[in-house]
């Protein structure tokens, strides 16, 4: 403790300082100005050349705000702010007040005495103050507060005489001793709380509110005894000493454990220091014409322009927050105190206009007089954010650009997917966390395979959560029938994630702690067992899994405020927003959400449909060429139908159709499943009795054996880098030709219907320009053939994905053949990092992020320095060769706001993302343009 802590010395010093001032002598000549009255905010502003950010840096957010409100003429209890510079000087000097600070403090106390007509330590009209921290950035509850400074035994007697309310005064006094003891002197608060509990027992009452004046008087005395026992000193009775020690405690709390941890977590610098706000106490608990409350200037849930809040008559601020008494809605004040309510409404409006935002205000009414204690921008739901932004533009308070910038892209999600009810989540049992790959809420019964999921949903009308270790193409029917998807393996670009996003199914994947036992039809998380049929709730927005059924909130994309805001976003953005869509119904949804084209149609997804998969498998399993040709021919009308439907929906807009990409084994059952099933079948053979039974089993065994042989033949160490993409297209040129034929036949068919078609054919996984040459030759020949057969020409573009570093680095050569590029950032990330997109995210990438080796998941946000650099090179080289080269992105990053900002910077023409991300991308693209 500093040398000034001795009461007598301090009192003397305080008087001496005042004496000196009266004699016309000031404080040390060159001491900086450490203390600003709330009414001196303009001086602070001048000092930092008008920068409000710097005023906040100097006076802290709360101090700057209190000064600002004072300047606006809002009734704020008089007070002053000790600057963050004073805090830093104090800490730098080894916890010693810098020269001049104490004098300035006393001076300021003198000023508020003059402003209030009250006096420190004057029993007949005492000034009581609070002392609160206030850093530049809000750190709620992280630093210290002491209330009721200025009370001592004499003042208490005087106050009781004035107010006639001994209970009220002793309650204040015990709070001072308690806060001072715990905050300033580190006496454990539990010791104080134990005294109150004992007192309640002795008095035979259940709540603090029922304790009498004499109870609180006794409690105060005991608190003082505790204080002496723990600190070895008497409780300080000089208000100046209380004030000085409290100020020091707030300074020190900047370096307290809580505050440091909070700053580390929130990324706030440690050298900013905190300001200290010293402010006249006002009391909402001085009788029935006193009250205290909190209110928002607009409805924080819906955004409606109406004041919303709670208050309590005859109460202190914390009573409202603590929820021990039933609060009243703030509108009730309209009846009981109409003048005060009218004044409050006027202030709320004034503050909104000033801050150009919805305000969250704390107020106190002391014997009929309204005081504002704090105002800040109010927290609100996504729905309210959108409505308020739009209303404020229409009220002329903010510009359209500000409204657009104010709404975070992710907030748009609220209007697209059901969400778990925030209140219900509070009491829910969270069981696991995984990757949040597809947003929204899903509630349903666990089903462990696609057939069960589909059967329960379709035939029994049950809501289902499909749970699998990972999903494969032949699980898609179950995924479509389910409300949501949960897997224990897989990453952001895993099959489950891609499909879930595409169909807007909430999904959580890569939940490593989930042990799924398909045989016993149950799963475990730690020692918790969840059986098939049990209810789960998924929050795909945050990647959380809850036990049981949680209430959900229904979305509404047609919310007029939302639509208006997105319309404004479109006025600002320069980046196009296209969709990744494989089916006509996806394309229709994408159009509804504002997509301007299709940036990626993954044709292989059309092969995954239940009735098509066997044909695809037949093609793969074919032993003779004519067998394969037959299977491919069977697929042709299906593909043609798909493309025609897509062209119709996208009438007049570009549709990029990518030729087949994934490795063939993805269309067959997994190797491990086949081995297990074969073993089971062989074991069962012994139990069969009739020839017929044995014949059936043998046939099944032979079929599985065939599959297994083919799967083994197709097996590669890392199939995502093997025979897939253009390589597959070159090897299976018949398939390429079929797909091209389907595209052109469809295009001609719909053109005849009057639809405008703009097909763009895209080659996946190109690494070398020669691969494109080969595919171009095949494609042109087939296209020409179809056009001649049909006697009609359809203009089209031929382009490629850029998803292999070599393609990016040789983009100038590639652009000689390709008329457009689309960055496949899923594969480009995989191949640039050498990290498998299938399993890294539930493996070491998690640890990498935890340890800060990578700050972000490169599969979620483009790695700007590596992958982004390759994109920049490819864009530049490509446009050197072909200045009008159309360049887009269709990897999952196309729907990620940060990645969208990078695409804008790189000068791409469009981003393409799943239909459900379109509105988010529109807003993010506007943000990028406005940045």
Q: Which does 771 bind (CB under 5 to 8 A by kind): ligand PEP, Mg ion, none?
A: none
Q: C-beta of 890: minimal distance to ligand PEP in Å?
A: 5
Q: C-beta of 379: minimal distance to ligand PEP in Å?
A: 36
What is the C-alpha separation between 38 and 44, in angstroms, rounded?
10
Q: CA distances (Å), 502 to each of 516, 825, 916, 917, in order?
A: 25, 17, 7, 9
Q: CA distances (Å), 387 to each of 299, 350, 412, 567, in order?
A: 10, 20, 12, 14
What residues from 826 to 865 belong to the interface with Mg ion (CB under 5 A)? 827
- Which residues, at least 6 apart from 631, have a Cβ–Cβ distance to it below 8 Å? 615, 616, 618, 619, 622
Written as one string, the DSSP assignment of 695-745 is: HHHHHHHHHHHHHHHHHHHH--SSGGGSS-THHHHHHTHHHHHHHHHHHHH
- Does 419 bind ligand PEP (CB under 6 A)? Our answer is no
Q: Which does 825 bind (CB under 5 to 8 A by kind): ligand PEP, Mg ion, none?
A: ligand PEP
Q: Which does 890 bind (CB under 5 to 8 A by kind): ligand PEP, Mg ion, none?
A: ligand PEP
Q: Which does 312 bind (CB under 5 to 8 A by kind): ligand PEP, Mg ion, none?
A: none
What is the C-alpha separation between 567 and 42, in angstroms, rounded?
40
Any idea which residue has 């069962």 for tokens?
A: 684
Q: CA distances (Å), 83 to each of 47, 135, 250, 254, 269, in order?
A: 13, 10, 12, 13, 17
What residues from 270 to 299 belong to the interface with ligand PEP (CB under 6 A)? none
- Does 803 bind ligand PEP (CB under 6 A)? Our answer is yes
* Buried b or exposed e, range 831-869, using 16+ CB within 10 angstroms: bbbebebbbbbbbebeebeeeeebeebbbbbbbbeebbe
Q: What six digits make up the tokens of 647?
A: 């062209």
State how beta strands 514-517 and 522-525 pair: antiparallel
Distance of CA 843 to the CA centre of its chain: 23
- Does 896 bind ligand PEP (CB under 6 A)? Our answer is no
In the complex with ligand PEP, the residue whose CB is nearer, 470 or 803, is 803
- Does 894 bind Mg ion (CB under 5 A)? Our answer is no
Residue from 827, 838, 886, 896 binding ligand PEP (CB under 6 A) = 827
What is the C-alpha separation between 913 and 890, in angstroms, rounded?
6
Number of helices (H), then strands (E), in the chain: 37, 31
Task: Give the angle 427-432-436 at the CA atoms, nearest 5°.
Answer: 100
Sheet holding 441-447, edge to edge: 430-433, 544-547, 535-539, 441-447, 464-468, 484-487, 507-509, 435-438
In the complex with ligand PEP, the residue whose CB is nearer, 248 or 838, is 838
In the complex with Mg ion, the residue whose CB is nearer, 385 or 803, is 803
Q: CA distances (Å), 218 to each of 69, 167, 214, 223, 232, in order?
A: 40, 11, 6, 9, 21
Kindly write out the interface string for residues 778-797 of this chain, putting x where it contacts ligand PEP by CB under 6 A and - elsewhere: --------------------
- Does 661 bind ligand PEP (CB under 6 A)? Our answer is yes
Q: CB under 6 A: which stretch of 289-297, 483-491, 620-628, 818-826 binds ligand PEP?
A: 818-826
- Does 470 bind Mg ion (CB under 5 A)? Our answer is no
Give catalytic residue positions.
495, 890
In the complex with ligand PEP, the residue whose CB is nearer, 381 or 603, is 603
In the complex with Mg ion, the residue whose CB is nearer, 58 or 762, is 762
Q: C-beta of 826: minimal distance to ligand PEP in Å?
A: 3
611, burial (CB in 10 Å: exposed 0-12, middle 13-18, buried 19+): exposed
Q: C-beta of 921: minimal distance to Mg ion in Å?
A: 19
- Does 666 bind Mg ion (CB under 5 A)? Our answer is no
| Dihedral, 420, 422, 426, 427 alpha carbons, nearest 10 | -50
In the complex with Mg ion, the residue whose CB is nearer, 384 or 720, is 720
- Does 59 bind ligand PEP (CB under 6 A)? Our answer is no
- Does 63 bind Mg ion (CB under 5 A)? Our answer is no
Q: C-beta of 826: minimal distance to Mg ion in Å?
A: 5
- Does 760 bind ligand PEP (CB under 6 A)? Our answer is no
Q: C-beta of 728: minimal distance to ligand PEP in Å?
A: 12
- Does 826 bind ligand PEP (CB under 6 A)? Our answer is yes
In the complex with Mg ion, the residue whose CB is nearer, 568 or 910, is 910
- Does 84 bind ligand PEP (CB under 6 A)? Our answer is no
State how beta strands 576-580 and 535-539 pair: unpaired
Residue from 436, 825, 832, 899 binding ligand PEP (CB under 6 A) = 825
Q: How many residues does the chain have?
A: 931
Q: C-beta of 824: minimal distance to ligand PEP in Å?
A: 3
Q: What six digits make up the tokens of 628?
A: 């394969």
In the complex with Mg ion, the residue whose CB is nearer, 319 or 827, is 827
Written as one string, the DSSP assignment of 498-567 is: HHHHHHT--EEE--TTEEEETTTTEEEETTEEEETT-EEEEETTTTEEEES---EE---TT-HHHHHHHH
Nearest to 216 by CA among 176, 170, 267: 170
Q: CA distances (Å), 280 to each of 76, 132, 169, 606, 741, in order?
A: 9, 12, 16, 71, 82
Q: C-beta of 867: minimal distance to Mg ion in Å?
A: 13
Residue 741: how many other CB atoms lie within 10 Å = 20
Q: C-beta of 63: minimal distance to ligand PEP in Å?
A: 50
Is residue 324 within 8 Å of residue 207, measured between CB atoms? yes
Q: C-beta of 179: minimal distance to ligand PEP in Å?
A: 57
Q: CB under 6 A: which stretch of 406-414, 518-526, 547-555, 821-829 binds ligand PEP?
A: 821-829
- Does 586 bind ligand PEP (CB under 6 A)? Our answer is no
Q: If DSSP states are collapsed to H, E and C, what string results for 590-653?
A: HHHCCCCCEEEEEHHHHHCCCCCHHHHHHHHHCCCHHHHHHHHHHHHHHHHHHHHHHHHHCCCC
Residue from 4, 840, 890, 900 binding ligand PEP (CB under 6 A) = 890
- Does 824 bind ligand PEP (CB under 6 A)? Our answer is yes
Q: C-beta of 84: minimal distance to ligand PEP in Å?
A: 47
Kindly write out the interface string for residues 467-506 of this chain, putting x where it contacts ligand PEP by CB under 6 A and - elsewhere: --------------------------x-------------
Q: Which does 40 bind (CB under 5 to 8 A by kind): Mg ion, ligand PEP, none?
A: none
Residue from 175, 244, 602, 640 binding ligand PEP (CB under 6 A) = 602
Is residue 506 within 8 Å of residue 442, measured between CB atoms? yes
Any idea which residue has 């007509």 for tokens?
A: 117
Q: CB under 6 A: which stretch of 85-93, 431-439, 822-830, 874-882 binds ligand PEP?
A: 822-830
In the complex with ligand PEP, the residue whose CB is nearer, 69 or 763, is 763
What residues from 794 to 833 belong to the interface with Mg ion (CB under 5 A)? 803, 824, 827
Q: C-beta of 326: minimal distance to Mg ion in Å?
A: 59
**For residue 577, what is the enclosing H or E element?**
strand 576-580
Q: Which does 602 bind (CB under 5 to 8 A by kind): Mg ion, ligand PEP, none?
A: ligand PEP
- DSSP 8-state code for residue 573: -
Q: CB under 6 A: which stretch of 350-358, 359-367, 397-405, 820-828 binds ligand PEP?
A: 820-828
Q: C-beta of 802: minimal distance to Mg ion in Å?
A: 10
How many residues at the interface with ligand PEP, by CB under 6 A?
A: 11
**746 phi and psi angles, rounded to 5 deg:** -65, -45
In the complex with ligand PEP, the residue whose CB is nearer, 497 or 538, is 497
In the complex with ligand PEP, the residue whose CB is nearer, 359 or 826, is 826
* Buried b or exposed e, range 762-773, using 16+ CB within 10 angstroms: bbbbbbebebbe
In the complex with Mg ion, the residue whose CB is nearer, 621 or 720, is 720
Q: Which does 914 bind (CB under 5 to 8 A by kind): Mg ion, ligand PEP, none?
A: none
Any idea which residue has 């919805």 for tokens?
A: 358
Q: Which residues of the chain form contacts with ligand PEP (CB under 6 A)?
A: 493, 600, 602, 661, 803, 824-827, 890-891
Under the rule (CB under 5 A), what is the footprint of Mg ion? 803, 824, 827
């Amino acid at each position: 403790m500093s040398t000034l802590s001795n009461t007598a010395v301090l009192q003397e010093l305080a008087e001496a300082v005042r004496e000196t001032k009266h004699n016309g002598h000031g404080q040390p000549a060159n001491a900086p100005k450490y203390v600003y009255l709330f009414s001196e905010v303009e001086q602070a502003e001048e000092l930092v050349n008008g920068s409000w950010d710097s005023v906040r840096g100097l006076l802290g957010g709360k101090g700057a705000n209190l000064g600002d409100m004072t300047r606006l003429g809002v009734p704020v209890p008089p007070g002053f702010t000790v600057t963050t510079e004073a805090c830093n000087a104090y800490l730098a000097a080894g916890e010693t007040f810098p020269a001049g600070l104490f004098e300035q403090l006393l001076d300021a106390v003198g000023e508020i005495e003059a402003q209030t007509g009250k006096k420190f330590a004057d029993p007949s009209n005492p000034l009581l103050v609070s002392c609160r921290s206030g850093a530049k950035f809000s750190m709620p509850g992280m630093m210290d507060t002491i209330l009721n400074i200025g009370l001592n035994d004499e003042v208490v007697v005087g106050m009781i005489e004035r107010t006639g309310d001994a209970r009220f005064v002793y309650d204040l006094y015990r709070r001072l001793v308690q806060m001072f003891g715990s905050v300033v002197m580190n006496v454990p608060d539990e010791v104080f709380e134990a005294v109150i509990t004992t007192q309640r027992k002795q008095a035979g009452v259940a709540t603090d509110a029922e304790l009498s004046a004499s109870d609180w008087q006794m409690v105060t005395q005991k608190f003082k005894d505790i204080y002496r026992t723990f600190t070895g000193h008497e409780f300080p009775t000089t208000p100046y000493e209380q004030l000085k020690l409290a100020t020091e405690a707030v300074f020190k709390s900047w370096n307290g454990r809580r505050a440091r941890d909070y700053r580390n977590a929130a990324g706030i610098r440690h050298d900013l220091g905190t300001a200290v706000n010293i402010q006249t106490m006002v009391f909402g608990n001085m009788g029935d014409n006193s009250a205290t409350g909190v209110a928002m200037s607009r409805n924080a849930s819906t955004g409606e322009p109406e004041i919303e809040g709670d208050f309590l008559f005859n109460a202190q601020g914390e009573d409202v927050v603590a929820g021990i008494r039933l609060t009243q809605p703030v509108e009730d004040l309209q009846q009981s105190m109409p003048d005060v309510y009218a004044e409050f409404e006027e202030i709320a409006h004034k503050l909104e206009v000033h801050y150009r935002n919805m305000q969250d205000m704390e107020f106190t009414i002391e014997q009929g007089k309204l005081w504002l204690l704090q105002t800040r921008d109010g927290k609100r739901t996504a729905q309210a954010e959108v409505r308020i932004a739009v209303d404020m533009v229409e009220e002329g308070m903010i510009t359209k650009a500000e409204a657009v910038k104010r709404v975070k892209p992710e907030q748009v999600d609220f209007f697209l997917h059901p969400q778990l009810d925030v209140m219900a989540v509070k009491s829910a049992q969270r069981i696991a966390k995984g990757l949040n790959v597809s947003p929204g809420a899903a509630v349903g019964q666990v089903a462990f395979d696609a057939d069960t999921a589909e059967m329960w949903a379709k035939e029994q009308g049950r809501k289902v959560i499909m749970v699998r270790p990972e999903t494969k193409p032949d699980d898609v029917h179950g995924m479509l029938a389910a409300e949501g998807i949960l897997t224990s393996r897989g990453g952001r670009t895993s099959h489950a994630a891609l499909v879930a996003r595409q169909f807007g199914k909430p999904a959580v994947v890569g939940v490593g702690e989930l042990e799924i036992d398909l045989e016993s039809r149950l799963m475990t998380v730690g020692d918790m067992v969840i059986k098939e049929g049990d209810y789960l709730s998924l929050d795909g927005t945050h990647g959380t899994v809850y036990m049981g059924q949680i209430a959900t909130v229904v979305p509404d994309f047609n919310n007029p405020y939302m639509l208006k805001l997105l319309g404004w976003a479109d006025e600002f953005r320069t980046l196009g927003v296209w969709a990744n869509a494989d089916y006509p119904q996806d394309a229709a949804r994408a159009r509804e959400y504002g997509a301007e084209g299709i940036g990626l149609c993954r044709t292989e997804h059309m092969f995954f449909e239940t009735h098509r998969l066997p044909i695809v498998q037949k093609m793969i399993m074919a032993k003779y060429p004519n067998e394969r040709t037959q299977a491919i021919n069977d697929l042709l009308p299906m593909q043609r139908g798909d493309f025609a439907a897509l062209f119709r929906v996208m009438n007049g807009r570009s549709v990029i159709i990518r030729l087949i990409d994934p490795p063939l084994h993805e269309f067959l059952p997994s190797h491990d499943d086949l081995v297990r099933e074969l073993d089971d079948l062989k074991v069962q053979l012994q139990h069969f009795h009739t020839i017929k039974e044995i014949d059936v089993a043998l046939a099944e065994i032979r079929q599985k054996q065939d599959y297994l042989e083919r799967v083994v033949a197709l097996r590669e160490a890392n199939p995502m880098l093997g025979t897939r993409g253009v390589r597959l297209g070159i090897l299976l040129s018949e398939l390429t030709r079929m797909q091209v034929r389907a595209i052109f036949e469809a295009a001609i068919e719909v053109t005849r219907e009057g639809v405008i078609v703009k097909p763009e054919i895209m080659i996946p996984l190109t690494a070398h320009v020669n691969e494109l040459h080969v595919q171009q030759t095949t494609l042109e020949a087939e296209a020409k053939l179809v056009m001649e057969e049909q006697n009609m020409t359809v203009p089209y573009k031929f382009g490629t994905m850029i998803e292999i570093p070599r393609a990016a680095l040789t983009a100038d050569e590639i652009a000689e053949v390709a008329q457009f590029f689309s960055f496949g950032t899923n594969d480009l990330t995989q191949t640039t990092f050498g990290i498998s997109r299938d399993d890294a995210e539930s493996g070491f990438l998690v640890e990498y992020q935890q340890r800060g080796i990578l700050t972000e998941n490169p599969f979620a946000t483009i790695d700007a320095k590596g992958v982004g650099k390759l994109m920049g090179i490819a864009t530049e080289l490509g446009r050197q060769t072909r200045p009008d080269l159309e360049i887009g992105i269709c990897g999952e990053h196309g729907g990620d706001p940060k990645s969208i900002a990078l695409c804008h910077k790189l000068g791409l023409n469009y981003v393409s993302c799943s239909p459900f991300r379109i509105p988010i991308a529109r807003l993010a693209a506007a943000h990028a343009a406005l940045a």
